[in-house]
Amino acid sequence: MSAHVTERLALAAAGALDAGEAERVAAHLGECEACAARAAEWRQLADAMHRLPQPRPDPVLVARTREAVEALVAERAERAFNQAALGFAVALAWTLAIVGWFVFDLVAGELALRLARPIGSAAAWYAAYLLAGWVAAAAAAVMLGRRTQEEGRLV
Amino acid sequence: MDADREDAAKLGKGDTSGLAGLMNRHQDRLFRYLLRLVGDTSVAEDVFQQTWLNVAERIRRYDPARPFAPWLVTVARNLALDQLRRRKMLSLEEAEEPLAPASASDPHERAMARQSAARVDAALGALGPLDREVLTLRFEDELELPELAATLAVPLPTAKARLYRALERLRAKLLTSPAPGGRR
């Protein structure tokens, strides 16, 4: 008779032996009553493991989880949109600032020629334009900040 | 599963209908796994919710060439183990818990053959989290040994040894717990 395979029986019942080991165990069980009886016990334990009560999540928990994830996804989408909008606004502001200088230089020169009198330097008009831009941007930032604060209070 | 990949792609694009599909297919298995691992319903519920939030946050890191379920279990497992460590529910002492002698053969041992699933469930609950985890992954989720090893992030021989020790400890618990009707 081959050597006892006691230590392999638990894994055999769990279906966790490789093909060679499983064959050796099966061959031994055919000739050893003691190991065969023990293997039957392990198989019954394994069967009981397969028949364990199956707990399921509470539907309230599932609904709450879905709501939380949907809120997270919506927040992430809004954050991505805000970041894109901010990037676009910054790029636009720089473009306008650079293009603005040439436009003011051209318009101020042409206008002075057509009116036949000085209307002030292009640099002064440009500085006023930039200042107005900064004031508008600051006002927009303050309004957005207040809105965000109010939304935070509502949540 | 193709449906999982499609739903994961939808969720990655911010379409929450993808979440509904993923949850419908995986919520029961995930909850059962977490409950077995942490052994406490309220903790399992917390980790269940946090797992899906993490899935939504990290869905772009999911590799659609691989199945979704093991990735989901990995996310859940990391969160659950963090919770267990934080709550000091994860004890390493269980590794030193004595196993019942493998060669014992007496009436108690024969009683093992008459185990009801409910009794086995109670004995399972008395095991350590890592033992419960390996047993539920093998018997309830029916993971093959290589998948089991991948989920536990250990080499295959380690997964096998862990499964063997968990089975022996479960058997030891059954042998020392009262049998139905007061008999042992």
Report the distance separating Cα A149 and Cα A102, nearest Å.
Answer: 40
Token pair recorded at residue A90: 């910054």
Report the distance separating Cα B4 and Cα B65, nearest Å.
Answer: 11
Statement: residue B100 has pLDDT above 60: no
Q: Report pLDDT digits (tens) over B112-161.
A: 545 577 888 889 999 999 999 999 999 999 999 999 999 999 999 999 99
pLDDT band at B4 (very low <50, low <70, confident <90, very high): very high
In a 3-state reduction of DSSP, which class is residue B119? Answer: helix
At B101 the pLDDT is: 46
Residues of chain A with Cβ-Cβ distance to B19 below 8 Å are 66, 69-70, 73
The burial of B121, by beta-carbon neighbours within 10 Å (0-12 exposed, 13-18 middle, 19 or more buried), is given as middle
Query: How many helices, marked H, and strands, marked E, lie in chain A?
Result: 5, 0
Residues of chain A with Cβ-Cβ distance to B48 below 8 Å are 57, 61, 65
Statement: residue B79 has pLDDT above 70: yes
Report the distance separating Cα A125 and Cα A120, nearest Å.
Answer: 7
Give the 3-state DSSP-derived string for A87-153, with helices as H, strands as E and coil as C: HHHHHHHHHHHHHHHHHHHHHHHHHHHHHCCCCCCHHHHHHHHHHHHHHHHHHHHHHHHHHHHHHHH
User: Residues 6 or more apart from B157 whose CB is under 8 A from it?
Assistant: none
At A64 the pLDDT is: 95
The burial of B14, by beta-carbon neighbours within 10 Å (0-12 exposed, 13-18 middle, 19 or more buried), is given as middle
Statement: residue B111 has pLDDT above 70: no
pLDDT band at B108 (very low <50, low <70, confident <90, very high): very low
Statement: residue A69 has pLDDT above 90: yes
Please give the share of chain A, as a percent, with pLDDT higher than 90: 24
Report the distance separating Cα B79 and Cα A3, nearest Å.
Answer: 44
Give the C-alpha distances (Å, rounded to integers) separating A63 from A68, A73, B11, B75. 9, 15, 17, 20
Q: Do B16 and A40 touch (CB under 8 A)?
A: no
Question: What value does the mean pLDDT of chain A take?
Answer: 85
At A81 the pLDDT is: 84
Among residues A18, A8, A55, A50, the alpha carbon closest in space to that of B136 is found at: A50
DSSP output for B38-99:
H--HHHHHHHHHHHHHHHHHHGGGS-TTS-HHHHHHHHHHHHHHHHHHHTT---GGGGGSPP
Q: What angle do CA A51, A54, A60 make, to 5 degrees?
A: 170
Q: What angle do CA B131, A19, B162 make, to 5 degrees?
A: 15
Statement: residue B70 has pLDDT above 70: yes
Distance from CA of B139 to the nearest CA of A (A): 6
Question: What value does the mean pLDDT of chain B take?
Answer: 84
Residues on A contacting B at a C-beta cutoff of 8 Å = 6-7, 10-11, 13-16, 34, 38, 40-42, 44-46, 48-58, 61-62, 64-66, 68-70, 72-73, 76-77
**For chain A, what's the residue count?**
155
pLDDT band at B95 (very low <50, low <70, confident <90, very high): very low
pLDDT band at B184 (very low <50, low <70, confident <90, very high): very low
User: Residues 6 or more apart from B149 whose CB is under 8 A from it?
Assistant: B155, B156, B158, B159
